[in-house]
Amino acid sequence: MLKKQETKKKEKVEKDSKKISQEEFEKKVLELSKEGLTSEKIGEKLRREGIHPSEYGKKISKILKERGSYASPDLKNVEAKLERVKRHSEKNKQDKRAMREKERVFSQLRKLKMYYKAA
């Protein structure tokens, strides 16, 4: 068995970060939003490609708000969850817990919609 000193440390491999212009960055963000991605998912996808949004000094959500294509990720996530629960409860009519969950998620969605309307 190797001693602590003899073990090799794994070095972190840094990805090469691509530097693109501010206009290209905004264009890329808008492209990804048209595909239906939320601002969080856009950031993840850009980081995987080696483009770091923090280098451009503008948040992704702010870019989307300026261009008018911003949709609240909270709202999108709750709508998706409601859709999944609805599909499940349609298949499994005897599942009382799923029916209760559907009501709970629907209520949560209604509250979020009221919140974003007021804000």
pLDDT of 70 strictly over 90: no
**Is residue 28 in a domain?**
yes
Say whether both 82 and 97 belong to one domain: yes
pLDDT in tens, 80-89: 999 999 999 9
**Is residue 32 in a domain?**
yes
**Is residue 6 in a domain?**
no
**Is residue 7 in a domain?**
no
Percent of the chain with pLDDT over 70: 85
**Is residue 9 in a domain?**
no
**Domain range spanning residue 45?**
22-67
Domain count, the chain: 2
Say whether both 54 and 90 belong to one domain: no
**Is residue 15 in a domain?**
no
Q: What's the pTM?
A: 0.62
Banded pLDDT at 91 (limits 50, 70, 90): very high
**Is residue 13 in a domain?**
no
Say whether both 90 and 60 belong to one domain: no
Q: Using CA atoms, how far apart are residues 48 and 26, in angstroms rounded to an integer?
A: 17
pLDDT in tens, 12-38: 545 566 777 888 888 999 899 888 888
**Is residue 4 in a domain?**
no
Q: What is the pLDDT of residue 56?
A: 80
Instruction: Give the DSSP per-residue string, 12-77.
Output: P-PPPPP---HHHHHHHHHHHHHTT--HHHHHHHHHHTT--GGGGTS-HHHHHHHHT----HHHHH
